[in-house]
Structure 1
Amino acid sequence: MSSGNLLPDSQRLFVALKVPEPIGYTLQNECKQYKIGIPFTKWTYSEDYHITLQFLGDTESNRIPALCEVLNNVASEVKPFKLEMGTWDTFGVPEAPRVLYRTVAGNTTRLECLQQKIVESTVELQFNKEARKYRPHITVARKYTGKTPFQRDLLISSSVETLSWCVSEFVLFTTHIGSKPMYEVVEAFPIKV
């Protein structure tokens, strides 16, 4: 279970929402069309599509039970909610973006509430709070490598229907750098109805 330069008996962890398989399949098909004309160094493996809620970093394995306990408590305090696939966008310099992603729409208020509860509960366990404002998204590619400036107008959604799903759980992922899929579920936390 090697993940780069981790200390022995530790894992690189984060809390996230998995993108349901049918949504991921549609997103993967859209990305196949973009790969032809929009060069990025790395395209996300379809099974790795997710919405990060809290990055935890390198974590000693003996801390995982306490982490899972507080995450179970969070799951018991929230209700399921609906999300939708949003628009295409980028992070970084507009001419050479570092990340291509899909935004998230739907009940983003409930999503942000869930994210905040997770952050508050993990900070109590001495995990660091992200300094940047929370911007939920699904990363699909990294590091634009085109010889000409990136053309944002190429990003039009090929989906004719609204892609929506019900969020009924979140997960604790561990990272396996260089593997496909790269993320493995450590534990899932069902959201009580």
Structure 2
Amino acid sequence: MPRLFTGLEVPAEVAMSLSMYRGGLPGARWIDPENYHITLRFIGDIDEKTAHDIYVSLGEVHRHPVTVTIDELASFGGGRPRAVFARAVPSTELIELQADHERKVRRAGLPPETRKYTPHVTLARLRDASPIDVADYLATRGAFPAIRFTATRFVLFSSRASVGGGPYVVEAAYPLG
């Protein structure tokens, strides 16, 4: 059973810029920059037939290239922080692309995503990180300069069952434009 998700790759130069924020947070497991991405739709562990159906249906997604702006560092989890991430602005074009992926996955028979979509690049997964340490980490990073890139394709990724963070394999790439 493959574990799949769709996403946008983060260009190497953007990944390098984001990797400068690694370190200085107890309890953080930093993601390798080559595994940075923006998830569009987590699919999960599915059978081969469903994987094939999704692979084919994603080829029906026709969108223009997407300009992505990463504008701040933040965390998920509030009082029990679980990840530090770089937020991508939820532009109309990004949200519409994600909605296309949601529709394709649901059409293949999978249940709808229950969480609100928050486009982001996960920088670290947190285990037993203090909320105060996370707040201090975010506060000491100051103003985050916006980083922009244009995604000219989206991809279908696979991963091994783990606690997250890669390595990820591009199973298929679909052009935007």
Residues 46 and 69 of structure 1: CA distance in aligned 2, closer, same or farther (over 3 Å): same
Residues 121 and 24 of structure 1: CA distance in aligned 2, closer, same or farther (over 3 Å): same
In the alignment, what sits opposite 1:93? Answer: 78
Q: 1:152: how far off?
A: 1.9
Residues 16 and 148 of structure 1: CA distance in aligned 2, closer, same or farther (over 3 Å): closer
The match for 2:9 among 18, 25, 34 is 18
Q: CA separation in 1, counterparts of 2:119 and 2:77?
A: 16
Q: 1:157: how far off?
A: 5.2
Scaled by the length of structure 1, the TM-score of the pair is 0.81
Contact kept, 8 Å, 1:13 with 1:55, in 2: the verdict is yes
Q: Which amino acid aligns with 2:148?
A: S
In the alignment, what sits opposite 1:170? Answer: 154
The percent of aligned pairs where both chains have the same amino acid is 28
In the alignment, what sits opposite 1:188? Answer: 173
In the alignment, what sits opposite 2:109? Answer: 126
Q: Structure 1 residue 139 and structure 2 residue 139: aligned? A: no
Q: 1:149: how far off?
A: 2.5
Q: How many residues align?
A: 174
Q: CA separation in 1, counterparts of 2:13 and 2:50?
A: 34
Q: Structure 1 residue 57 and structure 2 residue 44: aligned? A: yes
Residues 157 and 176 of structure 1: CA distance in aligned 2, closer, same or farther (over 3 Å): farther
Q: Deviations over 1:56-81 (max 9, x none)?
A: 1111223333212210101x2x1112
Q: CA separation in 2, counterparts of 1:59 and 1:104?
A: 28
The match for 2:135 among 144, 148, 152 is 152
In the alignment, what sits opposite 2:19? Answer: 28
Q: 1:44: how far off?
A: 0.8
Q: CA separation in 2, counterparts of 1:84 and 1:148?
A: 27
Give unpaired runs (5+ residues) of structure 1.
1-9
Scaled by the length of structure 2, the TM-score of the pair is 0.87
